[in-house]
């Protein structure tokens, strides 16, 4: 089964999908992206992802080349062509090709790229045992709500993760937990799920919103506020949410054991209700 590439309106073999060196995505990271996964061949929460793509593009004054209906058509076609049991769909819009100048012109034609690749979900045993995380300073810019292709701080954080042989980096800004390098972070304190508020400090995760809704329908209270790094260590439970990680327990942070070192009861409940939602 092929990895599918789509560039400026045409499906092409991945090896033939080429972009100019003058593309502003390459020159400046001047672009936005989305990652969507499929469950049983069906893109999950496509509307919410496309809505966030619209918001990201608008925040950068970037022309959104396709309507949501057109994007949906291209995505479904890509998924059909790739025919993977589970696929990861990557969408990217950059401001397009122009002679290098920081300021942009209003008539730039965006470059639009999509790839559809096989997705390998996390091993069930990892879900069952939970994962280890580390904290690192959140050195990102002041608009983390924009899903921009400028990911240098996340790249450096994920490299630290790789070197430390843990699963995720939890980012800390002035002593407060913002989110993970590729996920949102939630903690459980006295039966309440607490997570950083929407705003410029975090990416408003599609999974985050679903999990907060699921918590409410499960009768679990939620609060959207920042928690400190020390509150993170002493939380009853910590978990990550995200398109690729779903709901994933964190059992150790910086070597400190969270709770009793096993996925906690609220994390397990939310993981189970998320699994039945996607199923």
- Contact segment (CB under 6 A) with ligand PLP among 74-82, 87-95, 177-185, 193-201 equals 177-185
DSSP code per residue over 74-113: HHHHHHHHH--SSEEEEEEEE--B-SS-SS--TTPPPEEE
Contact status: 35 vs ligand PLP (CB under 6 A): yes
Q: Which residues contact 21 (CB under 8 A, 6 or more apart)?
A: none
β-bridge partners, 116: 4, 89
Contact 200, 148 (CB under 8 A): no
Contact status: 179 vs ligand PLP (CB under 6 A): yes
- Contact segment (CB under 6 A) with ligand PLP among 19-27, 81-89, 182-190, 251-259 equals 182-190
**Least Cβ distance, residue 38 to ligand PLP (angstroms):** 14
Nearer to ligand PLP, 98 or 183 (CB): 183
d(CA 234, CA 20): 50
**Least Cβ distance, residue 99 to ligand PLP (angstroms):** 31
State how far Cα 75 lies from the chain centre. 18
The binding track of 240-259 with respect to ligand PLP, each residue x by CB under 6 A or -, is -xxx----------------
Among 88, 147, 162, 256, the one annotated catalytic? 147
Nearer to ligand PLP, 95 or 140 (CB): 140
Nearer to ligand PLP, 7 or 171 (CB): 171
The binding track of 190-209 with respect to ligand PLP, each residue x by CB under 6 A or -, is -------------x-xxxx-
Contact status: 182 vs ligand PLP (CB under 6 A): yes
**Least Cβ distance, residue 205 to ligand PLP (angstroms):** 3
Contact status: 31 vs ligand PLP (CB under 6 A): no
147 is catalytic: yes
Contact status: 273 vs ligand PLP (CB under 6 A): no
Contact status: 148 vs ligand PLP (CB under 6 A): no
Contact 149, 94 (CB under 8 A): yes
CA distances (Å), origin 165, targets 143, 158, 169: 29, 10, 11
Among residues 59, 245, 211, the alpha carbon closest in space to that of 141 is found at 59
Q: What is the largest CA-CA distance in the chain?
A: 57
Contacting residue, 184, 195, 267, 273, with ligand PLP by CB under 6 A: 184
Among residues 5, 21, 20, 24, the alpha carbon closest in space to that of 96 is found at 24
Contact 151, 203 (CB under 8 A): no
Contact status: 173 vs ligand PLP (CB under 6 A): no
H or E stretch covering 217: helix 206-217
Contact status: 138 vs ligand PLP (CB under 6 A): no
The residues binding ligand PLP (CB under 6 A) are 35, 179, 182-184, 203, 205-208, 241-243
């Amino acid at each position: 089964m092929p990895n599918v590439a789509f560039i400026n309106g045409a499906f092409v073999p991945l090896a033939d999908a080429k972009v100019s060196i003058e593309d502003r995505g390459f020159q400046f990271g001047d672009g936005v992206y989305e990652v969507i996964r499929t469950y049983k061949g069906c893109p999950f929460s496509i509307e919410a992802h496309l809505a966030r793509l619209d918001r990201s593009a608008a925040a950068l004054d970037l022309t959104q080349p396709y309507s949501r209906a057109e994007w949906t058509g291209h995505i479904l076609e890509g998924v059909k062509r790739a025919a993977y049991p589970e696929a990861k769909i990557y969408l990217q819009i950059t401001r397009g090709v122009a002679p290098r100048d920081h300021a942009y012109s209003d008539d730039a034609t965006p470059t639009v790229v999509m790839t559809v690749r096989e997705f390998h979900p996390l091993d069930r045993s990892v879900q069952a045992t939970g994962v280890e995380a580390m904290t690192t300073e959140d050195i990102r810019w002041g608009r983390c709500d924009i899903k921009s292709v400028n990911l240098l701080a996340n790249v450096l954080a994920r490299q630290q993760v790789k070197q430390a042989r843990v699963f995720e980096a939890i980012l800390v800004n002035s002593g407060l937990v913002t989110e993970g390098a590729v996920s949102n972070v939630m903690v459980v304190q006295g039966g309440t799920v607490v997570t950083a508020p929407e705003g410029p400090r975090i990416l408003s995760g599609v999974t985050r919103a679903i999990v907060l809704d699921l918590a409410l329908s499960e009768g679990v209270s939620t609060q959207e506020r920042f928690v400190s790094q020390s509150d993170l260590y002493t939380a009853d439970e910590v978990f990550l949410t995200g398109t690729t990680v779903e709901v994933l327990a964190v059992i150790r942070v910086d070597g400190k054991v969270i709770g009793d070192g096993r996925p906690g009861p609220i994390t397990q409940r939310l993981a189970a209700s998320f699994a039945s939602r996607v199923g």
